[in-house]
A and B are shown apart, each in its own frame.
Chain A
Amino acid sequence: MAKKFLSGNEAFACGVRLARPQVISAYPITPQTIVVEKLSEFVEDGSLNSEFIHVESEHSALSCAMGASAVGARAFTATSSQGLLYMAECLPYAAGGRFPIVMMNANRSTALPWNIYGDQRDSISQLDSGWIQAYAENAQEALDLALMSFRIAEHPSVSTPFMANLDGFVLTHTYELADVPTQEQADEFLPPFRTENKLSLSEPKNLAFSAGPDSNTIFKYKEHLGILRAREVIRETEHSFAEIFGRQYTGLTESYRTEDADYILITLGSISGLVREVVDSLREKGEKAGLLRLRYLRPFPNEEIAEAVKNARSIAVLEKDISFGNEGTVYTNVNSALHKAGITAACSDYIGGLGGRNISAEEIEGIFIELKNERSAVRFLGTGGEQDGA
């Protein structure tokens, strides 16, 4: 293992190289571009033996990855924002076909107004597409997720495509230190992809077929069970990852000082580092603050959330997303988890960072102060606005 000074995009590309995908199909878009450029350089310099297909659109990028997966190849693609939306038709197609493609998404705002900066509205709009969704906090986790994602997606009991999300610019374009494992370690962790779900001349079978009203529900139910089984596979994969690489991840969520916390902020992605620092400074002042970081949104960590916040006096969600006409989607999901567990503590939603707007330490501290009111509300950071009827 060697420590390297890498951007989030470069770290992810290093992780993908170690995973030895046989086919990479991609179309460049800011702020994802560098991950694709790096991979094409790796193919060019011979350090990655992969078929690199520069397609004419994102729709084709994912269609091409599906074709590759359908003949049993390990396939990778990457996109962002409008590109993700342009390939949206193919997302449930890949999930329903049970093709374990890995895609990196550089989280970026969606138009209009036109904006290339980071928020999470692009990936969160696709939560129902049937893909696993993970959110990295830093370059190291991005690299490690790149490696783990293939093993989780390809597990025969899961067979579900995997979207690894990196916050645009603040993670994709920021340089930091990351351990880059050796190829030998990576090969020990991740064996070549083997699947029964492929086109084969020796064992002919029908893939990607129609299923009418009589049989459709059972396919969708099995698809749902597959992504739910990822919960256990993620745990196993992280355990095995820790044994080889020495870094232990914590499943669908990561709790920080939540055990005795009165006030817990739930968030995801790269803002978590700043929230952790604010929690520490509040703890020094005697405030019982805690952080729950959602590492995965699908499968959704219902039990983990309920367990982490069960003794809290109040809870807030901080998310870079809004479902127009309702509230932040992470908040909707969290409230469902709380309700199912019979947790009645106040829970508020803070929508921030839209279009790359900075979220400051002072604003996060302000959220913790407002949590003391123990009152549920939906607020937009930076507008002073609170929506009616929350």
Chain B
Amino acid sequence: MIEIIWHGRGGQGAFTAARLLGEAYALRDESFVLAFPSFGPERRGAPIRAFTKLDSKPIGNRSEIRKADYSIFLDDTLFSESSFGELKDGGRILLNTKKKYDDPRVVTLDGDGIAQKYLGLPITNTIMLGVLAAVSGLVSEENIAMAISDAMPQRLREKNIAAVKAAYEEAAK
């Protein structure tokens, strides 16, 4: 099973990203997916987590993920040294930041820059999904675009698909 933890703040769309990843992955044959937020009241700006579990067989474990293959931060103020504690061996952290980290486990990208250009807002959930696609190969750009088309309102579709493509290409460099 591939397990992904999404870190963001209320309003940044972490759970939407968790769901879009699940929906994109589910376009494959013989795929099983669970996507859920950290449960409870939601407040704008408060740290939240969301989870995506991907497998080729039914997933019985509905608990929060303790150790992830990919831990994704939409907001670098939520990232710290302790973040490595929730990675599996060989796991990667994908971080939206302008900073550079000299650590092979960390992939960085200036997602805010791409977001400003394509969305006009510092919302990086679909952008970091594009980064995950480029780094992991778990889902294709095309399947993400299909998930976005299904799940997002018309006015958000095209620009988010363009943002995913830009992030994918940047991360694949």
Contact = CB atoms under 8 A, between A and B. Distances in A.
A358 B64 contact: yes
Interface stretch (A49-57, A170-178, A233-241): A170-178
A229 B37 CA distance: 41
Nearest to A3: B26
Interface residues of A, number: 26
A71 B36 CA distance: 41
Given A5-B19, A5-B26, A173 B39 contact: yes
A28 interface: no
B41 interface: yes
Given A5-B22, A5-B23, A116-B41, A273 B61 contact: yes
Interface stretch (B27-35, B81-89, B110-118, B135-143): B27-35
A170 B53 CA distance: 13
A187 B113 CA distance: 52
Give the residue among B19, B40, B41 with the most A Cβ atoms within 10 A.
B40
B61 A274 contact: yes
Interface in A125-181: 169-171, 173-177
Contacts of B58: 273
Interface in B39-96: 39-41, 58-64
Contact of A176 (B34, B37, B40, B41): B34
Contact of A273 (B26, B35, B59): B59
A361 interface: yes
Give the residue among A174, A272, A359 with the most B Cβ atoms within 10 A.
A174
Contacts of A273: 58-62
Nearest to B23: A5
Given A3-B26, A5-B23, A5-B26, A173 B61 contact: no
Nearest to B52: A175
A270 B19 contact: no
B40 A170 contact: no
Contacts of A76: none
A357 to B, nearest CB: 11
Contact of A5 (B33, B36, B40, B41): B33
A270 B57 CA distance: 17
Contacts of A170: 36, 39, 62
A164 B106 CA distance: 45
Nearest to B59: A273
B86 to A, nearest CB: 15
Nearest to A280: B60
Given A5-B22, A175-B34, A361 B61 contact: yes
A173 B33 CA distance: 14
Interface residues of B, number: 21
Contact of B63 (A5, A171, A358): A358
Given A116-B41, A273-B58, A360 B35 contact: no
Interface string A175-210: 111000000000000000000000000000000000
B37 A276 contact: no
A173 B31 CA distance: 20
A174 B36 contact: yes
A171 B64 CA distance: 13
A275 B39 CA distance: 22
Contact of A277 (B22, B37, B40, B61): B61
A271 B31 CA distance: 21
B61 A175 contact: no
Contacts of B32: 176-177
A280 to B, nearest CB: 9
Contacts of A368: none
A318 B39 CA distance: 22
Contacts of B62: 170-171, 174, 270-271, 273-274
Contacts of B37: 173
Contacts of A171: 62
Nearest to B150: A5
B63 A274 contact: yes
Give the residue among B35, B60, B64 with the most A Cβ atoms within 10 A.
B60
A270 B36 CA distance: 14
A175 B33 CA distance: 8
B62 to A, nearest CB: 5
Interface string B102-141: 0000000000000000000000000000000000000000
A9 to B, nearest CB: 12
A275 B63 CA distance: 12
29 contacts: A3-B26, A5-B19, A5-B22, A5-B26, A5-B33, A5-B35, A117-B39, A169-B39, A169-B40, A170-B39, A171-B62, A173-B39, A174-B35, A174-B62, A175-B33, A175-B34, A175-B35, A175-B36, A176-B33, A176-B35, A177-B32, A272-B60, A273-B62, A274-B61, A274-B62, A275-B60, A277-B61, A358-B63, A361-B61
A-B residue pairs, 6 tightest by C-beta: A273-B60, A169-B39, A174-B36, A175-B35, A277-B60, A5-B23
Given A116-B40, A176-B22, 6 more contacts: A175-B19, A175-B33, A177-B32, A273-B58, A274-B61, A361-B63
